[in-house]
């Protein structure tokens, strides 16, 4: 089938804070430029989950009158604590300078993203939710656009006669790939269940005391493969630029980085306006965002040696060297960090009580996750025999545990394990693609509009 081509000057992939900031900044600099933003979620903010704390530095630069424009920043941080929690106690420690949040705002990142989208549309940016960028469109060795995913194809691969539609080519004179920014935590140990850990967090005596006093606690967990500036050595490629990436622009000690992601998009917009993407990496390196991330570059890597070595090094790096230590530790891919199941005892969590703790599928239900069931599975295996040969005997199939939605399930057929994939539950966190020890799982874009619908979360 011949694919229809949509012509734009700039195509931005991902309607997150970075992509939308890039679109807004570009239209401010060049009002006549034709800009479109593609978003795989059913609506803007549908795939954005975070109880975020946002610094307004980038927002002040991008939209100085954001208060008059009713930006959804309402809850000012006035008090904060840094707790080291044992099983029964919460020990108060000095709040490291980079983690201080006073003067910042606790926000719904989904609501903030929707507000940014409205600002972009008021400037003439065209935004298309429900259109996942499934592949790149190449011309003469450079990226010339993106191809959106098909819809209306059945599980068996055949086109449905009444609903099939081929993907569109979104062709751009300049093209910018913006990977959606997320805020979250990376779980090194495959036998830790993120949902169960959050449930146990809520039952800790110190947290229960805060909740009993009427305090509200916001948190979100989502898997990341790396973390920190060093994980993105290259920011541009022929025909495109990488902005807002969850690894490259996450400020690890703050567990937030919306402002740095936004700044990366704004700097990319300036480079596009100058018609020279090659200026972008240098501009970013001379920005305050780079400086901030550089000072935090050593925080994340040391935690792979454990909590206390990580805390000790973070304290030395933060309070003694102020982030300017004469060394730089390297991050390592998560899938290379897994240890054999025989080296660990399984963690037995208490059964959910339905009051403070809940089972995994009940939590998935709250995300309003949904996919058209009669479509090709977007979670595929390079080699279906790897489960029986490697993942199960050596690691105990950790995909059952690090997936927060119960997508992966081991079914015993006699003595042979078979990996069943319940793709309908997928939250699009991509933990499996990132954590799979054999890198056997391939995550592809499902039909547009599928996945979670987080609403105002």
- Provide the CATH number for the domain around residue 131: 3.50.50.60
Let me know: does 21 contact 178? Beta carbons within 8 Å: no
Is residue 376 in a domain?
A: yes
Query: Is residue 102 domain-shared with residue 141, that is, in the same domain?
Result: yes
Query: Is residue 133 domain-shared with residue 230, that is, in the same domain?
Result: yes
Query: Is residue 279 domain-shared with residue 318, that is, in the same domain?
Result: no
> Which H or E run includes 161?
none
CA distances from 287 to 28, 260, 290, 365, 374 (A): 20, 10, 5, 42, 48
Query: Is residue 60 domain-shared with residue 32, that is, in the same domain?
Result: yes
Tens of pLDDT along 71-96?
Answer: 999 989 888 888 888 777 788 888 88
Is residue 83 in a domain?
A: yes
Is residue 454 in a domain?
A: no
> Which H or E run includes 401?
helix 399-402
Respond yes or no: is residue 222 known to be catalytic. yes
Query: Is residue 148 domain-shared with residue 116, that is, in the same domain?
Result: yes
Query: Is residue 178 domain-shared with residue 77, that is, in the same domain?
Result: yes
Phi, psi of 121 (to 5 degrees): -65, -30
> Which H or E run includes 409?
strand 408-413
- Cα(82)–Cα(84) distance, integer angstroms: 7
Query: Is residue 264 domain-shared with residue 307, that is, in the same domain?
Result: no
Is residue 322 in a domain?
A: yes
Residue 120 has pLDDT above 90, yes or no: yes
- Cα(8)–Cα(38) distance, integer angstroms: 12
Is residue 205 in a domain?
A: no
User: 224 falls in which pLDDT band (50, 70, 90)?
Assistant: very low
CA distances from 381 to 420, 441, 442, 444 (A): 11, 5, 6, 11
Respond yes or no: is residue 377 known to be catalytic. no
Which of the residues 21, 42, 50, 236 is marked catalytic?
50
Respond yes or no: is residue 264 known to be catalytic. no
Respond yes or no: is residue 342 known to be catalytic. no
- Cα(278)–Cα(349) distance, integer angstroms: 51
Which of 103-112, 142-151, 187-196 is predicted least confidently? Answer: 187-196
Query: Is residue 320 domain-shared with residue 365, that is, in the same domain?
Result: no
Is residue 306 in a domain?
A: yes
User: 2 falls in which pLDDT band (50, 70, 90)?
Assistant: low
Q: Domain of 360: which CATH number?
A: 3.30.70.20
pLDDT of residue 222: 42
- Give the pLDDT mean for 301-319: 86
| Structural domain span for residue 318 | 301-332
113 torsion bin: left (phi>0), alpha (psi -120 to 50), beta (else): alpha
Is 216 or 141 the better-scoring residue by pLDDT?
Answer: 141
Query: Is residue 47 domain-shared with residue 130, that is, in the same domain?
Result: yes
Respond yes or no: is residue 426 known to be catalytic. yes
Please provide the distance, in angstroms rounded to a whole number, between the alpha carbons at the two ends of the chain: 40
* Nearest of 380, 382, 366 to residue 438 by alpha carbon: 382
Let me know: does 10 contact 144? Beta carbons within 8 Å: no
HSE of 193, CA atoms in CB hemisphere, 13 A: 19
Which of the residues 426, 431, 438, 445 is marked catalytic?
426
Which of the residues 258, 260, 264, 445 is marked catalytic?
258
Kindly state the tokens that stand for 169.
């080519």
Helices 17-29 and 109-122 sit at what angle, rounded to 10 degrees? 20
Tens of pLDDT along 260-300?
Answer: 999 999 999 999 999 888 899 999 999 999 999 899 888 88
pLDDT cut 90: percent of the chain above it = 40
Tens of pLDDT along 131-185?
Answer: 998 888 888 877 788 889 888 999 999 999 888 888 888 777 666 655 433 222 2
Query: Is residue 324 domain-shared with residue 410, that is, in the same domain?
Result: no
Is residue 412 in a domain?
A: yes
Tens of pLDDT along 435-453?
Answer: 899 999 998 889 999 999 9
- Out of 295, 316, 350, a domain closes at 295
User: 350 falls in which pLDDT band (50, 70, 90)?
Assistant: confident
Which of the residues 58, 148, 403, 431 is marked catalytic?
403
pLDDT of residue 183: 25
Query: Is residue 98 domain-shared with residue 145, that is, in the same domain?
Result: yes
Query: Is residue 310 domain-shared with residue 390, that is, in the same domain?
Result: no
Q: What mean pLDDT is reported for the chain?
A: 83
Respond yes or no: is residue 429 known to be catalytic. yes
pLDDT cut 70: percent of the chain above it = 84
DSSP 56-119: -HHHHHH-TTTTTTT-S--EE-----EEEE-SS-EEEEPPPGGG--TTSEEEEHHHHHHHHHHH
Which of 243-257, 270-284, 293-307, 382-396 is predicted least confidently? Answer: 243-257
pTM of the model: 0.86
Is residue 13 in a domain?
A: yes
In the chain, the number of structural domains is: 3
């Amino acid at each position: 089938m011949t694919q229809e081509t949509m012509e734009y000057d700039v195509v931005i992939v991902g309607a997150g804070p970075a992509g939308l900031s890039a679109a807004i900044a570009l239209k401010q600099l060049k009002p006549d430029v034709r800009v479109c933003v593609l978003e795989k979620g059913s609506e803007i903010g549908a795939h954005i989950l975070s109880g975020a704390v946002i610094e307004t530095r980038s927002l002040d630069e991008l939209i100085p009158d954001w208060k008059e424009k009713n930006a959804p920043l309402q809850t000012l941080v006035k008090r904060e604590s840094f707790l080291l929690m044992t099983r029964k106690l919460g020990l108060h420690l000095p709040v490291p300078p980079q983690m201080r949040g006073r003067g910042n705002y606790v926000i719904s990142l989904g609501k903030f993203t929707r507000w940014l989208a409205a600002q972009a549309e008021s400037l003439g940016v065209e935004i298309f939710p429900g259109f996942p960028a499934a592949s790149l469109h190449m011309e003469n060795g450079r990226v010339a656009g993106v191809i959106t995913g098909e819809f209306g194809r059945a599980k068996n691969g055949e086109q449905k006669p009444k609903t099939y539609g081929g993907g569109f080519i979104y062709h751009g004179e300049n093209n910018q790939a913006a990977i959606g920014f997320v805020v979250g935590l990376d779980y090194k140990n495959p036998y830790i269940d993120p949902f169960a850990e959050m449930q146990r967090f809520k039952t800790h005596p110190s947290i229960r005391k805060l909740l009993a006093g009427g305090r509200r606690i916001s948190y979100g967990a989502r898997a990341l493969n790396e973390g920190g500036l060093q994980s993105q050595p290259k920011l541009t490629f022929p025909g495109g630029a990488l902005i807002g990436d969850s690894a490259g622009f996450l400020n690890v000690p703050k567990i937030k980085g919306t402002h740095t992601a936004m700044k990366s998009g704004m700097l990319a917009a300036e480079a596009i306006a100058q018609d020279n993407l090659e200026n972008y990496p240098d501009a970013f390196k001379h920005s305050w965002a780079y400086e901030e991330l550089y000072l935090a570059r050593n925080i994340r890597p040391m935690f792979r040696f454990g909590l206390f070595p990580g805390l000790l090094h973070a304290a030395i790096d933060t309070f003694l060297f102020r982030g300017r230590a004469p060394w730089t530790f390297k991050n390592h891919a998560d899938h290379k960090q897994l240890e054999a199941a025989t080296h660990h005892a399984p963690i037995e969590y208490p059964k959910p009580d339905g009051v403070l703790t809940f089972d995994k599928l009940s939590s998935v239900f709250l995300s309003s996750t949904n996919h058209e069931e009669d479509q090709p599975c977007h979670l595929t295996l390079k080699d279906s025999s790897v489960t029986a040969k490697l993942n199960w005997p050596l690691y105990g199939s950790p995909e059952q545990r690090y997936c927060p939605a119960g997508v992966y399930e081991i079914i015993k057929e006699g003595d042979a394990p078979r990996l069943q994939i319940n793709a309908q539950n997928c939250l699009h966190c991509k933990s499996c693609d990132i954590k799979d020890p054999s890198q056997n799982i391939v995550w592809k874009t499902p039909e547009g509009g599928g996945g979670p619908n987080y609403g105002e979360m």
